[in-house]
Structure 1
Amino acid sequence: MGLPPVSQAFPVTPQTSGLMAPCRFEGEVRHLEVVGSIPKEIDGTFYRVMPDPQFPAFIGNDPWFNGDGNVTAFRITDGKAHFKQKFVRTEKFTKEGEAHRALLGKYRNRFTDAVPFKVRSTANTNIVYFRDKLLACKEDSPPYAMDPITLETLGLYDFDGQLPSCTFTAHPKLDPISKEFVCFGYEARGEGTRDVCYFSFNQEGKLIENVSMVAPVCAMIHDFAVTENWVIFPIIPQTCDLERMKAGGEHWQWNPKIPFYLGVLPRRGARRFDVKWFTAPNSFPGHGANAYENDHGEIVFDLAMSDENVFAWWPDKDGNAPSPQEIVQKLTRFTFDPKSDMLDLPTPEVLLEDDMEFSKIDDRFLMRKHDHIFFDLMRREYTNFRSIGMKVGGGAPIYNSLGHLTISTGSYDIYNPGSKHLIQEPVFIPRSAEEGDGWLMALVNNLDVGYSELHLVDTKNFVEAQAVIKLPVRLRPGLHGNWVGSDELAGRT
């Protein structure tokens, strides 16, 4: 019996229209047009990944999170910029290409697939560099390895047979001093399980830490944080129910009745029962900027927080979800004693009231005390929504500016690329040994002309772009990316 026919046209929905329309471009463009100038000391590659469906979904209302991973590499050297883009050749991408149609069902629900898959990964959430390989990460599976120069897919990567979890985080952390690669997986023993596995690899790629533990609920743990001595797991109250999935429902459902859980585990030499689960009122933890230990041995953890369900496309059991205009994420600081027997978290400090997300620090200060935080920012008065409203599409959170907060002084700078521009997650490129001295680079969608641009902003002159690099294509909103200096590419450049 054959599969039922599906449309070859993408539906006209907010998640597949305007800025959110699939890109589906693979190729290379050298010598991109540059307005302004790129400093010659910038030498490296900005890698980013976007969910980009190869085919229209056969299940309606497919969230934009379910698109195929399409990886972009912006090579910057000698004041010039070059562009390359290629899909990750996942099992899904390959099978669907052979079938000339979509086969994967709902987001993270194998019971809705048209055919069986061994690994359902779309490899679309983050692209990180480790030991001469790019790792295309999606947190429901092992990563896919790619060649950092050609972007050819090398296959699933299990760390030479050492991967202790069937899942892998989209946000591994590289210790800038020890060079340890610190990782975890949730639903680590399979979908619907409360198991969380923490593990890390040394610079030579050997597994050196491996701790399995059980979370209070089976829920999403998208990002995490690491200090010199602790590992921190913020649980998003999007919970999983296997019976709901078997009935054709969603993997995730917002649960407003459970607290915000924050797991804390010793970074080295821990056992499964050493984890503590601190709690705070129900809320949505976004991406972390960084965590460190202060002089009193307390953990200081800066992250985006919201009182609303940021992933509104997965509402609660009654179908309740906020509108995009209601969702505000604030830069928030938790300070607490990880050794305390009092598991109620102290009331956090709000560092910034503005709606923000996708924070970055100078990565050389990761896991240690930081003073500078960079992030995406939404100031609605900066954008001419009347003229670009139909071009925006829907589904993805949108931001129109970059922010730079200096914590010690309270200095707050904003870069806005224009009234018809939307901005994606930035990366930081260092210039000197001074923390925060360098450049931010971010992909910008120019909705006036319908193409994308790469903006380079000096952190010491945050008013205007030092360079605007123009692309001849429109790139869909992505999730995450990273800057890799040419000296890190193991001589591959």
Structure 2
Amino acid sequence: METTAASRFPDRPQFSGFMKPCRVEGNVEHLEVLGEIPKNIDGTFYRVMPDPQLPPYIQDDPWFNGDGNISAFKIKDGKYRNKFTDAVEFKVRSTANTNVVFFNGQLLALKEDSPPYALDPTTLETKGLHTFGGLLSSLTFTAHPKFDPKTGEMICFGYEAKGDGTPDICYYNVTPAGEFSQTLWLVAPVVAMIHDFAVTDNWVLFPLIPQLCDIDRLKQGGEHWQWSADTPFYVGLLPRRGAIPSDVKWFQYKNSFPGHTANAYEDDEGQVVFDVGLSEKNVFFWWPDSQGNAPAPSSIHSQLTRFIINPRSNNLELDYPEVLHSGNSEFYRIDDRFATRKYRHCFFNSMIPELGTDFPKIAPKLGGGYPLYNSLTHYDIMTGNSDVYCPGTTHMVQEPVFIPRKGSTEEADGYILVLVNNYDTMNSELHLLDTKSFERPQAVILLPLRLRQGLHGNWVDADDLRSSGEWPERVVTGTDD
């Protein structure tokens, strides 16, 4: 039977309200700024959102299956401009809609089921699939590569690396020049989703989400992923350098959902400290278990949680972890200069009902399918203190990024930049916070458009773009094109 494309988007929450597809490409300049953007901020905030160009074949398609739409927000001399464009072409299955990073002169749009897409960092035009000159041997590539701030290496992997339903993991290190210094193939204990991972000076950690793929189910037309309440939370621990496949240890904890990683490092005793968002329920509720059971979205509570793992232990049962922050949180970000090492400060999205969000007013405009966070939290791990920023009673926040203050080497001294959904105006805003006075915005940049809920993004300093030769000086001015 021939399948024809739908002519309109389904009447579903994930395609309505603030989640109505944007499908727009263009430039916006000289935006209205409330407050003042510090002149020492010079760079670009790249972010990606799933934004379907065409109605889906599946009526209840999850919100994050949309085509990748990249935005670039450029700031220099206290001025601001935005450039955004659809990022991918209809030639391979990837929608490159999960994350965007800058490495070795390439802007890479990522989705974990395929190789990266390379884009021009200035124009955002799609160059095509990027396989690092043919060195990428895996069919897949993580949406969350890690970057060692001391060596400049990119540490990455692919799961289902030999194709759908395969338990194979391909782990690799990439030098700052784009050369593969190590490639290692592993076999996971189950065919599970590995959305994020963690890296220390000497170890790599692979947290397996108990969302499992069964190739027979897939061949019969079933969903790729299915929640398994009987599967433990596995964490694979692998030496970062010079390992062989048998070196990996698969530690396990009770059935639970590992979300995004905050950071990992080694303590003075050589134990691995692993900080991750953890929920006792299936966060990806749109993929229920085999009986169709899934938690109500409002009942899901993810907490910043710390595991201590002894790499020398032959006991593969993980000790009960420490809850670092008991609030409902996700999308953890740190000062990336402290990645892989001991750190003190963490920034993340929070849902704090006591802040007085006007749900009766905004509920008809929310759209659906995505997590709701009404505030940002700056958490000091050493003291346990939290500072909270709430943008307003008709606002929700997306993932933040950290911008170091020019000339400062102090951890977390800088700014937080976050895209905010304003359900009153039905437009997006960029809020800039000084980490020294976190509870009030330094500046609010008003966008004359609505950008759907995104997944991830990163700040790229202008010096890094200039050194790559990818950002002409005429564009750096931020006031002309």
Pair 1:492 & 2:465 matched? no
How many Å separate the matches in 2 of 1:55 and 1:381?
39
How many Å separate the matches in 2 of 1:395 and 1:456?
27
Pick closer, same or farther for the CA change 1:8–1:381 going to 2, 3 Å: farther
Q: 8 Å contact 1:45–1:486 — kept in the other structure? A: yes
How many Å separate the matches in 2 of 1:123 and 1:235?
21
Pair 1:23 & 2:1 matched? no
Q: 8 Å contact 1:68–1:124 — kept in the other structure? A: yes
**C-alpha distance after superposition, 1:445-479 (max 9, x if no partner):** 10001000000011110111100001010000000
Residue aligning to 1:471? 447
Aligned ranges for residues 34-433 of structure 1 at < 5 Å? Answer: 34-92=33-91, 119-382=92-355, 383-431=357-405, 432-433=408-409
Q: 8 Å contact 2:168–2:188 — kept in the other structure? A: yes
Task: Report the secondary structure of 1:465's partner residue.
Answer: strand
How many Å separate the matches in 1 of 2:166 and 2:67?
25
Pick closer, same or farther for the CA change 1:4–1:262 going to 2, 3 Å: closer
Q: TM-score, normalised by structure 2?
A: 0.96
Which of 444, 449, 465 lines up with 2:420 in the alignment? 444
Return 5+ residue gaps in structure 1 as ranges. 93-118
Return 5+ residue gaps in structure 2 as ranges. 472-481
Query: One-letter code of the match for 1:26?
Result: E
Residue aligning to 1:114? none
Query: One-letter code of the match for 1:60?
Result: Q
Query: One-letter code of the match for 2:375?
Result: S
Residue aligning to 2:456? 480
Query: One-letter code of the match for 2:391?
Result: P
**C-alpha distance after superposition, 1:182-239 (max 9, x if no partner):** 0000001111000011101111111101110100000100000000000000000000
Q: CA deviation at 1:60?
A: 1.6
**C-alpha distance after superposition, 1:257-289 (max 9, x if no partner):** 010000000000001111000000000000000
Task: Report the secondary structure of 1:464's partner residue.
Answer: strand
Query: One-letter code of the match for 2:303?
Result: K
Query: One-letter code of the match for 1:416?
Result: C
Query: One-letter code of the match for 2:14?
Result: Q
Residue aligning to 2:476? none
Q: CA deviation at 1:138?
A: 0.6
Task: Report the secondary structure of 1:65's partner residue.
Answer: helix
How many Å separate the matches in 2 of 1:414 and 1:141?
37
**C-alpha distance after superposition, 1:5-28 (max 9, x if no partner):** 443211221111111111111111
Q: 8 Å contact 1:90–1:144 — kept in the other structure? A: no
Percent sequence identity is 60
How many Å separate the matches in 1 of 2:4 and 2:456?
34
How many Å separate the matches in 2 of 1:257 and 1:223?
21
Query: One-letter code of the match for 2:101?
Result: V
Residue aligning to 2:478? none
Q: CA deviation at 1:59?
A: 1.8
